[in-house]
């Protein structure tokens, strides 16, 4: 197979019937049983990795994984990480040292997996593996072949029954925070969501969280007590911003100076969480600073042009959108907005937040051209924006590229062009910009 054939083969497996993750309302370990069966079939590559850091939470998971990856790399560790979803190409999901998986490496692994999947269908008492479960398996194979010492895994959805929770041990479990996302899938309220996410806590690991809500902390503490592990609750209020520009932030924390090359105060909170984890691991503080400064956060308020200011952002739930809106409001400029959402998100809340900005033109589109992704109807989005502010100028384009091109043509040098609502939308647009 070439790369396109290998990728299309992986996508085509979605055609097979399966019990989709949490879709039938049954919170059970079937999803872990079937991936466990397959991993045993291929020799348990996940058991060949010495140290794991496991990261869940409603917001900040990807940023935390990326910061930790570069901190460990700067400290001379042989480190790997997995992120989801990918923004442009599937190989972005897996990284070892400073390089993503290559197309050739992806094809090699898919060629290895293809007959194994045939064997799984013949031998397994379970239904077909999901797309995310297979991507998790690809990561285990890739990381074990590269003989990494550290693997940092981002939970796909929830935690307790997420396929990433199949790992046999973990050094650190991280719960960034708990908010309202994937409602009805992993929980109907924050308490239920917290219970599912705290399921990544296992015996013999150290737990870190930035969560402050006492009701939520009570749930996390209970899981820690059950597994007899220590919980570190990070106090984020002890930092002081020294200088903040479009593409970097300098701040002090516990008498140390740090710089991160990202926009938005919320990223300081993610940074402090990773600093405390690095301190627990007894890593060199100066090298930790280097790792943080070298980190670039893709599609997290990512500035791709300064004049006019064009920002690609992946906020897709109320918590993430809150930090996006807060950061953009600080610029105090008129905003042209390109927005598209997935069809299963809390859309009305996010639209209400976006209407706090000085919106001039709102360009509505689909969040992706990918046929496997459920998208929100742009006409529905238009109605919701008009409900919030009847004076807003709106225009609909079905193609994200057309939406972006039109918005850019309307954005003068003193305005901001913001693309947000979905990591898929920003990734789709970034694909033809770079």
pLDDT at residue 275 is higher than 90: yes
What domain range is 186 assigned to? 3-293
Query: Are 382 and 235 members of one domain?
Result: no
At 396 the pLDDT is 97
At 370 the pLDDT is 61
Confidence of residue 140 (pLDDT cuts 50, 70, 90): very high
Query: Are 196 and 272 members of one domain?
Result: yes
Mean pLDDT of the residues in the chain: 91
pLDDT at residue 229 is higher than 90: yes
CATH number assigned to the domain comprising residue 414 = 3.90.190.20
Which pLDDT tens digit goes with each residue over 167-193? 999 999 999 998 766 555 666 688 988
At 420 the pLDDT is 96
Which pLDDT tens digit goes with each residue over 333-349? 999 999 999 876 679 99
At 27 the pLDDT is 58
Query: Are 33 and 152 members of one domain?
Result: yes
Query: Are 264 and 308 members of one domain?
Result: no
Query: Are 349 and 235 members of one domain?
Result: no
Query: Are 424 and 282 members of one domain?
Result: no
Which pLDDT tens digit goes with each residue over 47-64? 999 999 999 998 889 999
Confidence of residue 232 (pLDDT cuts 50, 70, 90): very high
CATH number assigned to the domain comprising residue 72 = 3.40.1190.10
Query: Are 311 and 201 members of one domain?
Result: no
Query: Are 261 and 147 members of one domain?
Result: yes
Query: Are 286 and 314 members of one domain?
Result: no
Total domains present in the chain: 2
Of 272, 293, 314, which marks where a domain is finished? 293
Three-class SS of the chain: CCHHHHHHHHHHHHHCCCCCCCCCCCCCCHHHHHHHHHHHHCCCHHHHCCEEEEEECCCCHHHHHHHHHHHHHHCCCCEEEECCCCCCCHHHHEEECCEECCHHHHHHHHHHHHHHHHHHHHHCCCCCCCHHHHHHHHHHHHHHHCCCCEEEEECCCCCCCCHHHHCCCCCEEEECCCCCCCECCCECCHHHHHHHHHHHCCCCCEEEECCCCHHHHHHHHHHHHHHCCCEEECCHHHEEEEEECCCCEEEEECCEEEEECCCCCHHHHHHHHHHHHHHHCCCCHHHHHHHHHCCCCCCCCEEEEECCEEEECCCCCHHHHHHHHHHHHCCCCEEEEEECCECCCCHHHHHHHHCCCEEEEEEECCCCCCCCCCECCHHHHHHHHHHHCCCCEEEECCCHHHHHHHHHHCCCCCCEEEEECCHHHHHHHHHHHC
Percent of the chain with pLDDT over 70: 93
Of 293, 324, 355, which marks where a domain is finished? 293
Does the pTM surpass 0.75? The reply is yes
Query: Are 249 and 354 members of one domain?
Result: no
Which pLDDT tens digit goes with each residue over 6-49? 999 999 998 888 777 656 555 577 889 999 999 999 999 999 99
pLDDT at residue 128 is higher than 80: yes
Query: Are 286 and 350 members of one domain?
Result: no
Of 262, 293, 324, which marks where a domain is finished? 293
Query: Are 275 and 335 members of one domain?
Result: no
């Amino acid at each position: 197979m070439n790369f396109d054939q290998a990728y299309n083969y992986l996508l085509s497996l979605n055609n097979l019937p399966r019990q989709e993750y949490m879709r039938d309302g049954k919170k059970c370990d079937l999803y872990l049983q079937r991936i466990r069966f397959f991993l045993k079939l291929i020799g348990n590559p996940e058991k060949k990795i010495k140290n794991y850091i496991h990261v869940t939470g409603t917001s900040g998971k990807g940023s935390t994984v990326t910061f930790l990856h570069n901190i460990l790399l700067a400290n001379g560790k042989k480190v790997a990480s997995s992120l989801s979803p990918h923004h442009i190409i599937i190989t972005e999901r897996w990284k070892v040292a400073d390089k993503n998986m290559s197309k050739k490496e992806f094809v090699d692994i898919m060629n290895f997996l293809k007959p194994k999947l045939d064997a799984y269908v013949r031998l397994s008492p379970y239904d077909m593996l999901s797309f995310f479960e297979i991507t998790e398996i690809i990561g285990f194979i890739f990381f074990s072949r590269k003989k990494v010492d550290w693997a940092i895994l981002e939970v796909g959805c929830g935690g307790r029954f997420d396929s990433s929770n199949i790992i046999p041990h973990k050094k650190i479990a991280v719960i960034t925070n708990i908010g309202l996302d994937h409602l009805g899938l992993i929980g109907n309220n924050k308490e239920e969501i917290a219970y599912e996410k705290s399921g990544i806590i296992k015996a013999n690991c150290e737990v870190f969280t930035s969560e402050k809500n006492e009701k939520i902390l009570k749930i996390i503490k209970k899981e820690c007590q059950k597994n007899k592990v220590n919980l570190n609750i990070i106090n984020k209020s002890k930092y002081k911003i020294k200088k903040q520009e479009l593409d970097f932030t300098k701040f002090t924390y516990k008498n140390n100076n740090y710089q991160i090359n990202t926009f938005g105060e919320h990223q300081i909170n993610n940074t402090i969480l990773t600093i405390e984890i690095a301190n627990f691991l007894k890593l060199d503080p100066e090298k930790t600073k280097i790792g943080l400064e070298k980190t670039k956060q893709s599609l997290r308020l990512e500035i791709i042009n300064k004049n006019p200011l064009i920002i690609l952002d992946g906020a897709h739930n109320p918590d993430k959108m809150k930090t996006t809106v807060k950061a953009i409001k600080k610029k105090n400029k008129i905003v042209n907005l390109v927005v598209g959402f997935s069809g299963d998100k809390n859309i009305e809340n996010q639209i209400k937040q976006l209407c706090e900005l000085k919106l001039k033109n709102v360009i509505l589109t689909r969040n992706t051209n990918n046929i496997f992704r459920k998208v929100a109807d742009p006409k529905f989005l238009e109605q919701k924006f008009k409900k919030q502010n009847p004076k807003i100028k709106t225009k609909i384009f079905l193609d994200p590229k057309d939406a972006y091109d039109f918005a850019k043509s309307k954005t003068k040098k003193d305005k901001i062009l913001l693309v947000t609502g979905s990591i898929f939308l920003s990734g789709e647009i970034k694909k033809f910009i770079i």
